[in-house]
């Protein structure tokens, strides 16, 4: 088999093989204890950076792989099969490296991209606040111009990696009352004066996501650390959200795919009433339904990936992919867990962690209601279409 040169890792194997090996070496042994709340960032980011999993879409000339979005998604699926939360943590930090390269090639990228790619520096993206989730225009964190920079004040919560991040992309309101148009994006360090972490006590099943929050009290941000000006930040947010919806959908498919593998293996060897479980029609049909639903989810994901890679209009496709795949995973992971009997509750399997993750995925990067609105708006001027 030949690989595109861009996919060959520094170690001479394809990045897809590296992802498989990384999942076996680092996620399979660690995910069960991370799922009990014992997450250690050093066991994830350094090893992932060492094999290139934090440089997937960083351009080749800056030491990354320059992968297409579709290929990045395939890598993420390999990780999410074992631990959805860890894959989310990695992609969130990776995305900041790509964002710095794009939005600040001369100022911030030279300072942080290498360490982000190696996993020595971990980053997160912070929009959500205690009082504003779906309704982005309501964010209350303010950025006021101060001399050559900005003063940031406010609180963020439910942020992936915030429990241990070194750097944060903060979205803040520069003009109170102007809604999304006044929002700008800033890059700040977690060791800045006035930055204080606020713990978010969530399910241990999500611990490798490192969910947390923080409070900003007069945090000074030099103008060189302004990533997107007011008006431009919302364009960046919408692009990033469409891509995130697509990879979250893909990762939900990956969880179901892994569950199907586990169920098929177990159903063949487990016997009841004189024959293996997979000989019973009632049992087999549940698996067949899940496999069919997974295939439908994968097709929606591939369509959205192709649109992104070809600069197509992806809003509706991304919304539909996530809408379908998250709900499919919520349903099918429960069904497949049941098909395993009590065996599925052993923590060497991912069923319980992944069931929690599927529910969380239906909120992150746009809740189900927001996605339905997105799809419904597309049909607004086509009477009879729905």
Ligand X SMILES: Cc1cc2nc3c(=O)[nH]c(=O)nc-3n(C[C@H](O)[C@H](O)[C@H](O)COP(=O)(O)OP(=O)(O)OC[C@H]3O[C@@H](n4cnc5c(N)ncnc54)[C@H](O)[C@@H]3O)c2cc1C
Stretch that binds ligand X, among 36-44, 109-117, 297-305, 365-373 (CB under 6 A): 365-373
The closest alpha carbon to 360, from 79, 84, 130, 132, belongs to: 84
- Token look-up 């395993």 returns 340
Q: Tell me, residue by residue from 143 to 172, as one string, x for binding to ligand X by CB under 6 A and - for no binding.
A: ---------------xxx------------
Q: Which is nearer to ligand X, 51 or 370 (CB)?
A: 370
- Token look-up 């204080």 returns 196
Question: Can residue 360 be called a binding residue for ligand X (CB under 6 A)?
Answer: yes
How many CA atoms lie less than 13 Å away from 176 in the CB half-sphere?
A: 6
Q: How far is the CB of 84 from ligand X (least distance, A)?
A: 10
Torsion of the alpha carbons at 124, 129, 130 and 135, rounded to the nearest 10: -130
Q: Which of residues 202-231 bind ligand X (CB under 6 A)?
A: 209, 211
CA distances for 53 relative to 71, 173, 210, angstroms: 12, 33, 18
CA distance 79 to 27: 8
Q: Which residues of 51-71 are buried (b: 16+ CB within 10 A; e: fewer)?
A: bbbbbbbbeeebebbbbbbbb
Q: Which is nearer to ligand X, 339 or 361 (CB)?
A: 361
Q: How far is the CB of 119 from ligand X (least distance, A)?
A: 18
Residue whose CB is nearest to ligand X in the complex, by number: 133
Q: Which of 127, 227, 321, 323 binds ligand X (CB under 6 A)?
A: 127
CA distance 358 to 351: 10
CB neighbourhood size of 271 (10 A):
10
Q: Which is nearer to ligand X, 43 or 126 (CB)?
A: 126
Q: Vertex 348, ends 347 and 354: CA angle to 5°?
A: 65
Stretch that binds ligand X, among 119-127, 248-256, 304-312, 345-353 (CB under 6 A): 119-127
Partnered with residue 197 across adjacent β-strands are 214
DSSP 8-state assignment for residue 270: -
Q: Which of 199, 265, 296, 369 binds ligand X (CB under 6 A)?
A: 369
Question: Can residue 192 be called a binding residue for ligand X (CB under 6 A)?
Answer: no
Q: How far is the CB of 8 from ligand X (least distance, A)?
A: 31
Q: Which of residues 40-99 bind ligand X (CB under 6 A)?
A: 92
Q: Which is nearer to ligand X, 71 or 129 (CB)?
A: 129
Binding site for ligand X (CB under 6 A): 92, 124-128, 133-134, 158-160, 209, 211, 360, 363-364, 367-369
């Amino acid at each position: 088999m030949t690989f595109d040169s861009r996919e060959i890792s520094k170690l001479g194997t394809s990045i897809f093989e590296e992802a498989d090996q990384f999942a076996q070496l680092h996620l399979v042994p660690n995910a069960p204890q991370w799922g009990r709340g014992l997450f250690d960032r050093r066991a994830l980011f350094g090893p992932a950076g060492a094999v290139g999993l934090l440089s997937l879409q960083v351009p080749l000339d800056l030491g990354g792989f320059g992968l297409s979005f579709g290929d990045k998604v395939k890598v993420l699926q390999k990780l999410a099969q074992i631990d959805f939360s860890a894959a989310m943590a990695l992609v969130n930090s990776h995305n900041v490296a790509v964002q710095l390269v794009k939005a600040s090639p001369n100022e911030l990228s030279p300072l942080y991209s290498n360490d982000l790619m190696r996993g020595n520096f971990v980053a997160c993206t912070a929009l959500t606040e205690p009082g504003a989730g779906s309704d982005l225009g309501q964010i209350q964190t303010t950025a006021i111009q101060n001399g050559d920079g900005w003063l940031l004040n406010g609180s963020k919560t439910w942020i992936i990696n915030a429990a241990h991040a070194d750097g944060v992309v903060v979205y803040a309101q520069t003009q109170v009352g102007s809604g999304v148009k006044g929002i700008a994006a800033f890059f700040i360090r977690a060791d800045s004066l006035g930055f204080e972490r606020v713990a978010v006590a969530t399910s241990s099943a999500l611990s490798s996501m490192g969910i947390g929050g923080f409070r900003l009290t007069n945090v000074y941000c030099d103008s060189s650390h302004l990533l997107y000006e007011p008006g431009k930040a919302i364009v960046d947010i919408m692009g990033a959200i469409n891509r995130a919806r697509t990879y979250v959908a893909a990762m939900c498919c990956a969880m179901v795919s892994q569950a199907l593998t586990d169920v098929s293996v177990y159903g063949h060897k487990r016997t009841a009433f004189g024959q293996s479980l997979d000989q019973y029609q009632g049992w087999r049909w549940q698996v067949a339904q899940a496999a069919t639903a997974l295939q439908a989810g994968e097709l929606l994901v591939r369509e959205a990936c192709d649109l992104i890679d070809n600069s197509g209009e992806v809003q509706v496709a991304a919304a539909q992919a996530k809408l379908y795949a998250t709900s499919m995973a919520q349903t099918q992971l429960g069904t497949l867990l049941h098909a395993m009997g009590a065996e599925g509750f052993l923590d060497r399997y991912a069923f319980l962690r992944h069931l929690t993750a599927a529910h969380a995925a239906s909120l992150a990067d746009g809740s189900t209601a927001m996605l339905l609105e997105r799809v419904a708006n597309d049909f607004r001027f086509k009477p009879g279409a729905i």
